Chain A
Amino acid sequence: MEILLVVIIGFLHAGGLYMLLRRSMFKMIIGLILLGNGANLLIFLLGRLVKGNPPVIEDGLKVFTDIYADPVPQALVLTAIVIGFGLQSFAIILIKRVYNVLNTDDLDELNSTDEEI
């Protein structure tokens, strides 16, 4: 399971970076989304995977007797997903506005703030 997750995270990061380096604005946003998802999965993986042992203390016991799934990374990932969702929706609206105003999808043409010296 870990190996599978590692491969998926690797692909998400590689794909995200590749898309970031493309010239199209829309592909750049997709790249950022892929990177965000890769980061979320990474936190989930680094919190150690435990199968079939929810962090619930059984009846009659006061402490955990066995190794249990850590709930903290899940909480972190949940928070990060929500925040990421907000930011990504803002970014998508922004590129839509940029596309409407500047009428181009090519990042190389968005240089009016840099070039004039």
Chain B
Amino acid sequence: MIVLPIIFQFIAGTILLFFWRKINLQKVLSILFSVIGLGISIWLFLQVWEKGIMVTQSGDWKAPFGISIVADTFGVTMVLLSSISGLAVSIFSTGSMRKERLAFGFFPIFHFLIMGLQGAFLTGDIFNLYVWFEVVIISSFVLLTLGGKKQQLEGALKYVSLNLLASSLFLIGIGFIYGLTGSLNMADVAIKLDGLQNRGLVSVTSGIFLVAFGIKSAIFPMYFWLPASYHTPPPAVSAIFAGLLTKLGIYAMLRTFTLMFGGDEFMGDIMVVLAALTILSGGLGAILQQNMGKVFGYLIICHIGFLIAGLGIYTELAIMGTIFYLIHDIIVKTNLFMVSGLILKINGTQDIKELGGMYKNFPLLSLLMAIPLFSLVGIPPLSGFWAKIFLIQAGLETKDFFLIGFIVLGSFLTLWVIARLWGEVFWKNSVGLPKKANGLYFGQMPLIDQWLMVFPIFLLAAISLYIGFSAENIILLSQKISSELMDPTGYIEAVLGLKAITP
């Protein structure tokens, strides 16, 4: 039953392949499948919320030998978030993407990407996690290069080569894990690594994992592929990448560093330093850029730093803040790139210097766009505020004043960037851009396409308002996840069966 979301997305992608040439039918089917997929994720989430961790042993092989599919609260929350983002981007792409781009299997590949993500969130086996990672990156390669513009190809080359390097490193890490423990099941590995004498080798292995996942999630010295590639594909593709792909790296990091390498102080210190530098370089990069896609690209890096910071502090409160931030960040970052796509469609450019007059011409739309922009900054009732409060509180408890300074600085840099963006794009008078002859502008689009672009932004804005205003529900959820992550006994018992816990 747990594998239902994965199997459903697989079937959805396969069915869409049969309608290769019928783009309009593909659009309708893709939205329909995304809605059903969201329904399945909500159902799975409620099941796990009521009954606790659910486990399926694939092929009925007993736990450490076969591949376990594990649905704990963290996993199903991520599945739910990926379904929400998937639905929004699916609707947005039907409205915003040109027919020529959709003609080469955009929708089937999109559903395979979601399948890979949900598989990665639900697996309990480290090698299986690698396989899902590969499913995700091969789909993302295709989505990134569809269309084949000059810039896109160049961005894709950087993205592809660094991701291949990260995959090799991940594979090397798995080799070390297998050599050390003789097991691949994450729960089993956790027990066996605990009893190991050779701590040095365990630290080296965790370092390899940190670098591998660090490249995927764009932390400090390994982020250069992100600003070079994320602004090149169409905004719908960037939206799903921004919302979910870097967060997949964070998910893998949270999973491995709480379950398998729990509480290694040396790695914790390294992570705190990396987090501070990630926040600083992402924030400063965002200030320098003039292209809106690149600004948002650097902001992704800046906020990845917050997530790593919580993991580096490594107390229950800090992990809770990280989870809260992760939930908020997935929704807001997806929305942000859709907003930039809408601005691109309205004006035909993403250059901040050339844009202007959005507020005068589209007051209601601007109000809608303000919600994701200012949630990102974390202005009090909106969603980003709560997450930062918990991170700073966690930092105060462990006396990590250095890190708190950087978190506050990162928030200020974000505020600066968003304020500048708001002033330049929305308040400044329009300079009157020359219209491109072959461009399809928002004003000329059919009404239904306009609504298809605005509705997903509205949907995600409503969700981030919900996160902000009923924060107590999200806090409850993050508390449950963080207590499950910090005390993995429940997870291990559920996967291996009760007896295995005493070695």
Interface residues of A (CB under 8 A from B): 20, 25, 28-29, 32, 35-36, 38-40, 42-43, 45-48, 70, 72-73, 76, 79-80, 83-84, 86-88, 90-91, 94-95, 97-98, 101-102, 110, 112-114, 116-117
Q: How many angstroms from the CA of A25 to the CA of B231 in the assembled complex? A: 22
Give Cα A116–Cα B227 distance, bound, in whole angstroms: 12
A47 → B minimal CB distance (Å): 6
Q: Identify which of A38, A47, A83 contacts B178 (C-beta below 8 A).
A: A47
Alpha-carbon separation in the docked complex, A110 to B165 (Å)? 19
A94-B171 contact given A72-B178, A72-B184, A101-B150, CB 8 Å threshold: no
21 A-B pairs (CB sep. < 8 Å): A29-B161, A36-B164, A38-B168, A39-B168, A39-B175, A43-B178, A45-B175, A73-B175, A79-B131, A87-B137, A87-B138, A87-B164, A90-B138, A91-B164, A94-B153, A101-B153, A102-B150, A112-B150, A113-B231, A116-B291, A117-B288
Chain A residues with CB below 8 A from B167, complex form: 36, 84, 87
What's the Cα separation between A36 and B150 when bound, in Å?
28
- Which chain B residue shows the least CB distance to A40? B171
Q: Say what secondary structure dominates the interface of chain A.
A: helix
For window 405-431 of chain B, which residues contact chain A by CB distance below 8 Å?
Answer: none
Across the interface, name the chain B residue whose C-beta is closest to A37.
B168
Task: Please indicate the chain A residues that have their CB under 8 angstroms from the CB of B158 in the complex.
Answer: 110, 113
Cβ-defined contact, B153 with A97, below 8 A: yes
Q: How many A-B residue pairs have CB under 8 A?
A: 107
Residue of A whose beta carbon sits closest to that of B177: A46
**A73-B178 in contact (CB<8A):** yes
Please provide the 6 A-B residue pairs with the shortest distance between their CB atoms, ordered closest to farther: A46-B179, A43-B175, A39-B171, A113-B228, A35-B168, A42-B175
Complex formed: what's the CA distance from A35 to B171 in Å? 10
What size tier do the contact residues of chain B reach?
Answer: 35 or more
Name B's A-contacting residues (CB within 8 A): 127, 130-131, 134, 137-138, 141, 145, 148, 150-151, 153-158, 160-161, 164-165, 167-169, 171-172, 174-176, 178-179, 182, 184, 227-229, 231-232, 288-291
The minimal Cβ–Cβ distance linking B94 to chain A, given in whole angstroms, is 27
> How far is B172's CA from A43's CA once the two chains are assembled, in angstroms?
7
Q: A25-B157, A28-B161, A110-B157 are in contact. Are A36 and B168 (CB under 8 A)?
A: yes
Known: A39-B175, A43-B174, A113-B228. A32 touches B161 (CB 8 A): yes
Q: A113-B151, A117-B288, A117-B290 are in contact. List 4 more A-B contacts (CB 8 A).
A: A36-B164, A88-B164, A95-B157, A97-B145
A42 and B178 CA atoms in complex are apart in Å by: 11
A116 vs B289: C-alpha distance in the bound complex, in angstroms? 8
Contact flag A35-B165 (CB < 8 Å), given A79-B127, A113-B154: yes
CB distance from B267 to the nearest CB of A (A): 21
Q: Given the complex, which residues of A lie within 8 Å of B229, measured CB to CB?
A: 113
Contact across chains for B160 and A39 when beta carbons are under 8 A apart: no
Tell me if A32 and B168 are in contact (CB < 8 A). yes
A32-B161, A83-B131, A87-B167 known; A98 vs B178 contact (CB < 8 Å): no
The winner among B156, B158, B164 for most chain A CB atoms within 10 A is: B164
Q: Which residues of B contact A113 (CB under 8 A)?
A: 151, 154-155, 158, 228-229, 231-232
The answer to whether A83 and B134 have CB atoms under 8 Å apart is yes
State whether B174 touches A91 (Cβ < 8 A).
Answer: no
- A14 to B290 Cα, complex, angstroms: 40
Query: Do the beta carbons of A32 and B164 come within 8 Å of each other?
Result: yes
**Residue numbers in A under 8 Å from B227 (CB-CB):** 114
Q: Which residue of B lies closest to A117 (CB)?
A: B288
Q: Within the complex, what minimum Cβ distance (angstroms) separates A88 from chain B?
A: 8
> How far, in whole Å, are A42 and B176 apart by their CA atoms in the complex?
8
